[in-house]
């Protein structure tokens, strides 16, 4: 593929320092975005641009749409597609950015380094059979849900812009094309390591581990066992991340190892969605027929993904293979206990608990089991729990009287709170900070995406995006956007690779 750069435009306040592009050949391919016929403005994230230190008013102009489709390049960017592999539904595959191009790394005024990536800018050497393009609906979905996750306080890549290409993309239907500008701490993945491990390139593994440590965990980079330090750090980040997903009922949907970011940010919003009724077997992805990535499986899959990471690191964990295996195993064995603690901390908060008792896990699990049995709404149930009021009707349908099982649980919980002794207003405050009022509910998300991409009616999307900015606040919450779907609504299906 010829490497031709579109003409560079003004700098717009970017401070590029493209460290990944300086890594050896084999880590990436230089490739320019493919210009589209008529770039048009879609969305621009002003608060994010501001936090990146960009001149917001100068950038946020419809005439600049071409920068966000890849028709024009910001001066100083050095576009590349990154090489990686990944276990997809359990099978190792050679991948790479097939429909994404990294423009470069921007240094924010705080000194933080951010990847600025276009998603959907055309073919790269890694596109395989794909078209390198993205449809508007899925890019709006990523924008909306990533920004919702950020507002929920969950580590995630961010979305700076969506621009329309003016060109159709051909999926099951013909859809409007779009390009998302993604902002991430980095796009290093477990799969990046798997690529060099599969190639048997130990030098590249060393280079990559060193790069990853310096970029994400500089405080651990100087120790005697860098690969082990990296493995431990990634295990910690994944544990806290997935515990937070479980706290808000988030189903990632495609936890392949190429979608596991070393930074611990949620990466790649494909067939993701949030629980309405609580059911650990919930899957939204149409291609996940076995339920591999179901809500309740996410901790186990994380453990599996981390084992693939440890395996990829084996050649650099210790000179002796048997020793390396021991080191890897010891690190991996820490995950279940660590995750249990992170999960407990998150869920204690949901129940207003700030102390620890042995039976806390039982208390939480019994509530979840009751919610599962009664098809209670996950978000609403936690938000309506009150230790000081008669137990409200929480199960579905909402009008049903609380059953004896729930009353019994409620007595246990209030007893536990009494022993804790924290004043009620503080209990309620802890609960309010752990239990969102509004999450991006699938039926609402889908309606807003359909309105924007099928009818050019962007109002529902903007209303929803605004409502999701302050998800823990009761006052002013828009009831119509936070309600569960009407009973009997079929579960939404979302599609991978769209």
**Active centre residues (catalytic):** 258
- Say if residues 274 and 246 touch (Cβ distance below 8 Å): no
497 binds ligand AMP (CB under 6 A): yes
Judged by CB, which is closer to Mg ion: 188, or 227? Answer: 188
95 binds ligand AMP (CB under 6 A): yes
Residue found by looking up tokens 């440890």 in the block: 310
Handedness of CA 207, 208, 211, 213 (dihedral sign): negative
Among ligand AMP, Mg ion, none, partner that 391 touches (CB below 5 to 8 angstroms by kind) = none
CB atoms within 10 A of CB 462: 12
Instruction: Identify the residue among 29, 64, 133, 187 touching ligand AMP (CB under 6 A).
Output: 133
Judged by CB, which is closer to Mg ion: 191, or 387? Answer: 191
Spell out the residues 6+ positions from residue 491 whose beta carbon is closer than 8 angstroms to its own: 282, 284, 442
Helix axes 442-455, 459-467, angle to 10 degrees: 150
Judged by CB, which is closer to ligand AMP: 268, or 377? Answer: 268
132 binds ligand AMP (CB under 6 A): yes
434 binds ligand AMP (CB under 6 A): no
* H-run or E-run covering 181: strand 174-184
142 binds ligand AMP (CB under 6 A): no
The CB-of-498 to ligand AMP minimum distance in angstroms stands at 8
The CB-of-95 to Mg ion minimum distance in angstroms stands at 8
127 binds ligand AMP (CB under 6 A): yes
Q: Which residue is nearest to ligand AMP (CB)?
A: 130
Distance CA(412)–CA(406), nearest Å, equals 10
Tokens of 326: 């021991």
Binding mask 258-277 for ligand AMP (x = CB under 6 A): xx--------x-x-------
Among ligand AMP, Mg ion, none, partner that 270 touches (CB below 5 to 8 angstroms by kind) = ligand AMP
Task: Kindly give the pairing relationship between strand 8-9 and strand 73-74.
Answer: parallel
Judged by CB, which is closer to Mg ion: 115, or 268? Answer: 268
Instruction: Identify the residue among 48, 59, 70, 97 touching ligand AMP (CB under 6 A).
Output: 97
As a whole number of Å, the CA-based R_g of the chain is 23
Q: Which of residues 215-234 bind ligand AMP (CB under 6 A)?
A: none
The CB-of-259 to Mg ion minimum distance in angstroms stands at 5
Site residues (vs Mg ion, CB under 5 A): 259, 268
Q: Which residue is nearest to Mg ion (CB)?
A: 268
348 binds ligand AMP (CB under 6 A): no
Judged by CB, which is closer to ligand AMP: 96, or 352? Answer: 96
Judged by CB, which is closer to ligand AMP: 98, or 153? Answer: 98
The CA-based angle 369-370-376, given to 5 degrees, is 110
Let me know how long the chain is.
498
Backbone phi, psi, residue 86, to 5°: 175, 150
Span near ligand AMP by CB under 6 A; candidates 95-103, 150-158, 278-286, 342-350:
95-103
- Say if residues 482 and 472 touch (Cβ distance below 8 Å): no
The CB-of-258 to ligand AMP minimum distance in angstroms stands at 6
The CB-of-100 to Mg ion minimum distance in angstroms stands at 8
Backbone phi, psi, residue 423, to 5°: -60, 145
Distance CA(397)–CA(418), nearest Å, equals 30
Distance CA(354)–CA(422), nearest Å, equals 8
Spell out the residues 6+ positions from residue 108 whose beta carbon is closer than 8 angstroms to its own: 15, 51, 52, 53, 114
The CB-of-415 to ligand AMP minimum distance in angstroms stands at 47
* H-run or E-run covering 165: strand 158-170
- Pick from 121, 102, 132: nearest CA to 163: 121
Q: For the chain, how long is the longest CA-to-CA vector?
A: 70
Residue found by looking up tokens 């581990």 in the block: 209
Among Mg ion, ligand AMP, none, partner that 182 touches (CB below 5 to 8 angstroms by kind) = none
The CB-of-188 to ligand AMP minimum distance in angstroms stands at 14
Residue found by looking up tokens 């050896």 in the block: 24
Judged by CB, which is closer to ligand AMP: 100, or 312? Answer: 100
Q: Which of residues 62-81 bind ligand AMP (CB under 6 A)?
A: none
Judged by CB, which is closer to Mg ion: 104, or 270? Answer: 270
Binding site residues, ligand AMP, CB under 6 A: 95-100, 127, 130-133, 254, 258-259, 268, 270, 496-497
């Amino acid at each position: 593929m010829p490497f031709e750069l579109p003409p560079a435009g003004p700098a717009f306040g970017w401070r590029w320092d493209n460290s990944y592009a300086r890594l050896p050949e084999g880590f990436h391919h230089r490739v320019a975005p493919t210009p589209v016929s008529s770039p048009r403005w879609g969305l621009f994230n002003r608060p994010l641009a501001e936090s990146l230190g960009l001149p917001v008013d100068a950038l946020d102009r419809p005439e600049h749409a071409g920068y966000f489709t890849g028709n024009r390049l910001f001066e100083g960017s050095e576009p590349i597609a990154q090489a990686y592999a990944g276990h997809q539904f359990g099978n190792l595959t050679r991948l790479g950015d097939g429909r994404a191009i990294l423009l470069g790394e921007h240094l924010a005024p705080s000194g933080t380094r951010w990847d600025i990536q276009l998603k959907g800018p055309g073919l790269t050497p890694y596109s395989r059979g794909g078209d390198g393009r993205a449809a508007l609906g899925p890019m709006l979905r990523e924008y909306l849900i990533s920004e919702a996750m950020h507002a929920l306080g969950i580590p995630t890549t961010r979305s700076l812009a969506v621009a329309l290409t003016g060109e159709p993309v051909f999926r099951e239907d013909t859809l409007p094309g779009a390009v998302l500008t993604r902002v991430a701490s980095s796009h290093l993945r477990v799969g990046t390591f798997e690529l060099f491990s599969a190639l048997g390139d130990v030098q590249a593994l060393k280079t990559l581990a060193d790069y990853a440590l310096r970029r994400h965990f500089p405080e651990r980079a100087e120790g005697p066992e860098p690969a082990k330090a990296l493995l431990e750090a990634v295990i910690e980040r994944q544990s806290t991340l997935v515990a937070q997903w479980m706290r808000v009922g988030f189903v990632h949907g495609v936890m392949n190892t190429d979608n596991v970011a070393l930074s611990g940010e949620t990466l790649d919003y494909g067939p993701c969605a949030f629980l309405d009724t609580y059911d650990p077997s919930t899957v939204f992805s149409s291609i996940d027929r076995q339920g591999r990535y179901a809500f309740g499986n996410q901790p186990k899959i994380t453990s599996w993904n981390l084992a693939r990471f440890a395996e990829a690191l084996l050649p650099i964990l210790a000179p002796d293979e048997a020793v390396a295996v021991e080191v890897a195993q010891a690190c991996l064995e820490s995950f279940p206990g660590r995750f249990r603690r992170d999960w407990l901390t998150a869920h204690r908060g949901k129940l207003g608990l700030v102390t620890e008792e042995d039976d806390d896990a039982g208390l939480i699990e019994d509530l979840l089991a009751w919610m599962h049995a009664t098809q209670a709404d996950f978000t609403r149930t936690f938000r309506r729990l009150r230790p000081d009021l008669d137990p409200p009707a929480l199960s579905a349908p909402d009008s049903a009287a609380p059953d004896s099982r729930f009353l019994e649980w409620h007595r246990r919980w209030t007893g536990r709170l009494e022993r804790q002794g924290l004043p009620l207003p503080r209990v309620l405050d802890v609960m309010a900070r752990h239990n969102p009022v509004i999450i991006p509910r699938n039926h609402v998300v889908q309606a807003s995406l359909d309105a924007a991409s099928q009818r050019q009616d962007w109002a529902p999307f903007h209303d929803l995006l605004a409502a999701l900015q302050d998800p823990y606040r009761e006052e002013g919450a828009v009831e119509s956007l936070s309600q569960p779907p009407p009973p009997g609504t079929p579960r939404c299906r979302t599609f991978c690779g769209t």
